[in-house]
């Protein structure tokens, strides 16, 4: 393979941007997560092809490698605060675990440390980090104006991510809300009520931010 320009590789630990290609001053710089440091030859070749030609098939190989790494790796994380001013996530978590999950379920949970930012066109209520096996819930939900069933639904939703594997399509794109995930999600008793409340919640969170 002929290289039209020098290629430099810079490694980092940012899993959200595990691959970025920079072209400046006649040089190509690959910013890569350290997971590619010991990648097999086919993946390394795919990285080079993608850097040179933006090849979609190569990108699929790269995404599959990243997905395999992030879905199986585990790393330590600092414990999160669980008791809020209104809701205790530990109590909610244990209640939902006992009702819907088996006794071996062991993801940790807590309030997110991130402060609300932006114009509030949408709200991320929670997230599950597969690397740390940790669930983080948006502190905006720690409010008397937020119904308990909605907080429980968000906790249940994020707990499902730990047991529902992400699926990859032919282009290497990850699909986290799979058919199985949606089927299990609908088993939450107040599913319809939670979805309805969610649609009208944005104005409340905008007001709370101000």
pLDDT in tens, 188-197: 999 999 999 9
- Predicted local confidence at residue 169, as pLDDT: 67
Nearest-angstrom CA–CA distance, 20 and 155: 33
Sheet holding 134-137, edge to edge: 108-111, 134-137, 126-129
Instruction: Output the pTM of the full model.
Output: 0.67
- Predicted local confidence at residue 23, as pLDDT: 85
Of 2, 66, 63, the closest CA to residue 34 belongs to 66
- Predicted local confidence at residue 91, as pLDDT: 97
- Predicted local confidence at residue 97, as pLDDT: 96
pLDDT in tens, 47-93: 888 888 888 888 888 888 887 777 666 655 678 899 999 999 999 99
The mean pLDDT of 32-49, rounded to a whole number, is: 84
Instruction: Tell me the pLDDT band of 210, cut-offs 50, 70 and 90.
Output: low
Nearest-angstrom CA–CA distance, 159 and 107: 7
Nearest-angstrom CA–CA distance, 124 and 126: 6
Q: What is the 3-state secondary structure (H, E, C) of 143-190?
A: CCCCCHHHHHHHHHHHHHHCCCCCEECCCCCEECCCHHHHHHHCCCCC
pLDDT in tens, 104-138: 999 999 998 866 555 556 678 999 887 788 999 99
Asked if 76 and 46 touch (Cβ cutoff 8 Å), the reply is no
Task: Report whether pLDDT(162) > 60.
Answer: yes
Instruction: Tell me the pLDDT band of 156, cut-offs 50, 70 and 90.
Output: very high
CA atoms within 13 A on the CB side of 171: 5
Asked if 35 and 20 touch (Cβ cutoff 8 Å), the reply is no
DSSP string spanning 48-59?
A: HHHHHH--HHHH
> What domains are there in the chain, each with its CATH number?
7-72 (no CATH), 89-209 (3.30.2010.10)
């Amino acid at each position: 393979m002929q290289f039209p320009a020098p290629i430099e590789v810079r490694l980092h630990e940012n899993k959200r941007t595990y691959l970025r290609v920079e072209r400046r001053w006649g040089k190509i710089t690959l910013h890569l997560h350290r997971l590619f440091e010991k990648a097999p030859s086919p993946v390394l070749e795919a990285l080079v092809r993608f850097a040179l030609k933006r090849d979609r098939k190569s990108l699929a190989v790269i995404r599959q490698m990243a997905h395999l790494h992030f879905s199986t790796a585990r790393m330590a994380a600092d414990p999160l605060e669980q008791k809020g001013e209104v809701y205790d996530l530990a109590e909610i978590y244990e209640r939902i675990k006992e009702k819907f999950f088996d006794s071996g379920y062991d993801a940790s949970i807590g309030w997110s440390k991130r402060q609300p930012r932006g114009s509030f066109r949408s709200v991320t209520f929670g997230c599950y980090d597969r690397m740390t096996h940790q669930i983080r819930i948006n502190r905006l939900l720690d409010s008397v104006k937020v119904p308990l069933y909605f907080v429980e639904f968000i906790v249940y939703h994020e707990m499902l991510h730990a047991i529902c594997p992400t699926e990859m399509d032919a282009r290497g794109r990850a699909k986290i809300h799979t058919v199985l995930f949606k089927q299990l999600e609908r088993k939450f008793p107040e599913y319809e009520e939670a979805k309805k409340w969610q649609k009208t919640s944005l104005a409340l969170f905008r007001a709370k931010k101000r």
